[in-house]
Amino acid sequence: MIKLKKGIVSQKVGQKTTIFDGEKSVLYTFNETASFIFDQLKKEAKLEKIVDLMAKKFNVKKETAKNDVEEFVKTLKAKKIVS
pLDDT of residue 29: 96
Residue type, 78: A
> What one-character DSSP code corresponds to residue 20?
E
pLDDT of residue 34: 96
pLDDT in tens, 10-53: 999 988 999 999 888 999 999 999 999 999 999 999 999 999 99
The answer for residues whose C-beta is within 8 angstroms of residue 61's C-beta and 6 or more apart is 55
Burial of 46 (0-12, 13-18, 19+ CB in 10 A): exposed
Closest by CA position to 54, among listed 34, 26, 30, 80: 34
pLDDT in tens, 47-73: 999 999 999 999 999 999 999 999 999
* CA-to-CA separations, 19 to 35, 72, 79, in angstroms, rounded: 10, 14, 12
Please tell me the pTM assigned to this model.
Answer: 0.91
